[in-house]
Structure 1
């Protein structure tokens, strides 16, 4: 019994967590005032707010946001699912999205799906247990269970990097099919009579590839050879793709449309290694206008999507919905543009 008592005494002497009550006592205010200072600081006088912030700094108090969420039914979290956090295409649009939502008091809970619908479905199920106030998804193609979970959650959802007439809630992006058609039109207008495709395996890249090839076949091209990879894009795969096209298809005197600038960069390197002139022997068009695209040798012709605008418009749509405002446009198409440089 004494031994148990000594253990209890030792536990009683251990540090206790700092609570809102501790901060309130130190600042000489009520807990209600502390709560108001944390959640609605503009409703607290500057002098009182300064005392409370000083008390928080001194004690190291961290608000219990879970408890606050239970009371307010708001977690102040937005869950975001993107295919790859290392791909500049997605990370740059998420940077602008994050800046906008953080300015409105929300924090981002980000997860990587790796272009897999099954992985996305599993992550959505896990993230919804955290009770986010809203969800951002990449793309418009999701599994049926995933769509049902999101619809059942009854929270705002924005799908980015694609458009559809039937979004879960709101979508902000551009048409991948129209992008492929636009590049095909560019190819025809510039007098090319041979073309090839190099593509990564994600379904949006495949839609661009298919639309590009279909438009050229309809315009009279005999064929549009292609090299497709199951995984993501890389410089190595771009080099491998050109090697296959030249060695197996004897492809010369034409243009290659790549599903990403990374693949296009690899094609340019392999062309140099083989002594092929760009754009005379092989012309190259990328996709994404990544930061290096203007600085390759030669500078890369590519398709640009305004990622900053995309992130900002997605944030605006979600924040409007979170504030109970109906978004007049459920489908927001920001478009794209072909940036002509020296490779095509």
Structure 2
């Protein structure tokens, strides 16, 4: 069969004619392959490949009354945590015969636009990062009947939530530094709109410092928690504080790693003069020298679990449910 540029999109009927089967057999070959004999299914797939046929998911779910598409918005694809998270989402969708659409939303406005797109596509479910949304987005989600999972944070979800206890992770990082004898511990944060997963950390940090009788005001912010330039910005801010800082907790491993690089460039010993804890357990954490001590969430489990929750949404027990995927503190050389 020779492919041609016919000027139109190949249809299910075209595939059926080419494979000498019914349109229902073509539909089942893509949507319910277990219903079709293997030889017939392969013949259909070969014809579809030759014709450049792609199943019309919108038409399929309109006919069946159910969408096979999940929409997810992520604030960044620049680090391995979100890569693993999206992989978990994709694997979960694959396991349930669904397709995944991912939109990057760096701002609250972009998140609203993503939600509008998902609702317009009549997706089967929506997955968002965190619970810090624009009021208009919350209103829109409230008026929609589409199941929603908010991930990376726990709390009172609009519908369902999956994540980990950020407050407990902050405590674990603080207590590690304190147990190591550090006495001027700093926190690097990010105070941009839509970053509640970062904003929850300073109050817990201050509380832990007060309990230990240590300074609680050593907090600086960086403009970009996922950018390598932020390490220099953070270190400059820390060195400008009155009195030397001997330990720091960073918002991400990207900031922590870039701070290690900057300390090396300036001749500052890590962890001798300053101990550094990252956040995320990105791939770089275990490969740089000194390797990073870091907070390790479980992003794949969050993504995969979010899809499982969407698939079970019709169950009365699953609505308004929260799932704690836990975290770990991975101790390496930097602290």
Aligned match of 1:22? 14
Q: 1:37–1:267: structure 2 CA closer, same or farther, 3 Å change rule?
A: closer
TM-score for both structures, normalised by structure 2:
0.88
Going from structure 1 to structure 2, the CA distance change for 1:276 and 1:126 (only over 3 Å counts) comes to same
* Residue 153 of structure 2 is aligned to residue 157 of structure 1: no
Partner of 1:33: 25
The structure whose Rg is larger is 1
TM-score by length of 1: 0.86
**In the alignment, which residue of structure 1 is the partner of 2:244?**
251
Q: Measured at CA, do residues 17 and 343 of structure 1 come closer, stay the same or move farther in structure 2, by a change above 3 Å?
A: closer
Question: What displacement does 1:150 show?
Answer: 2.0
User: Aligned to 1:84, which of 76, 87, 90?
Assistant: 76
CA contact (8 A) 1:304 1:337 kept: yes
Please list every run of 5 or more consecutive structure 2 residues that lacks an aligned counterpart in the other structure.
1-5
Q: Which has the higher helix share?
A: 1
**For residues 97-112 of structure 1, what are the structure 2 equivalents within 5 Å?**
97-112=89-104
C-alpha change, 1:191 and 1:30, in structure 2 (3 Å) is: same
CA offset digits 1:169-206 (Å, max 9, x no partner): 22111122222122222222222221111223333123
Change (3 A) 1:261 1:64: closer
Q: Deviations over 1:15-64 (max 9, x none)?
A: 66543333333444433333333322322344543443444344433333
Relative distance call for 1:41 and 1:209 in structure 2 (3 A) is same
Q: Secondary structure, in 3 states, of the residue corresponding to 1:321?
A: coil
1:150-173 alpha-carbon deviations (Å, 9 max, x no partner): 232212211111111x21222111
Distance (whole Å) between structure 2 residues aligned to residue 103 and residue 47 of structure 1: 23
Taking the aligned partners of 2:261 and 2:54, their CA distance within structure 1 comes to 52
Q: Is the 8 A contact 1:194 1:255 kept in 2?
A: yes
Q: Does 1:52 align with 2:44?
A: yes
Counterpart secondary structure, 1:42: helix
d(CA) in 2 for partners of 1:234, 1:268:
14
Partners of 2:37 and 2:82 lie apart in 1 by: 42
Of residues 122, 131, 134 in structure 2, which corresponds to 1:140? Answer: 131
Unmatched tracts of structure 1, length 5 or more: 1-13
Q: Which residue in 2 is equivalent to 1:273?
A: 265
Cα distance in 2, alignment partners of residues 295 and 52 from structure 1 = 47
- 2:230 matched residue in structure 1: 237
Report the alpha carbon displacement of residue 122 of structure 1 after superposing the two structures with TM. 2.5
Shift in Å, 1:306:
1.9
Query: Match for residue 4 of structure 1?
Result: none
| Residue of 174, 179, 182 corresponding to 2:169 | 179
In structure 2, relative to structure 1, the CA distance for the partners of 1:30 and 1:290 (3 Å cut) is: closer
Distance 1:23-1:245 versus aligned 2 partners, 3 A rule: closer
C-alpha separation in 2, matches of 1:83 and 1:27? 44
Choose between structure 1 and 2 for higher RCO, CA contacts under 8 A separated by at least 6 residues: 2
Cα pair distance change 1:185/1:329, threshold 3 Å: farther
Runs of 4+ in structure 1 displaced over 4 angstroms?
14-17
> Aligned equivalents of 2:8 and 2:299: distance in 1?
47
Are 2:225 and 2:254, in contact at CA under 8 Å, matched by a contact in 1?
Answer: no
Correspondence for 2:3 = none
Give the SS at the match of 1:198: strand
- Is 1:195 matched with 2:188? no
**Counterparts of 1:56 and 1:223, CA distance in 2:** 64
* Equivalent residues of 2:131, 2:153 under 8 A apart: yes
Deviation of 1:263 after TM superposition, in Å, equals: 1.2
Match of 2:54 among 40, 62, 67: 62
Is the deviation greater in 229-238 or in 134-143? 229-238
Q: How far apart in 2 are the matches of 1:150 and 1:280?
A: 50
> How many residues are treated as equivalent by the alignment?
327
Note closer, same or farther for the CA distance 1:28–1:326 as it changes in structure 2 (3 Å cut): farther
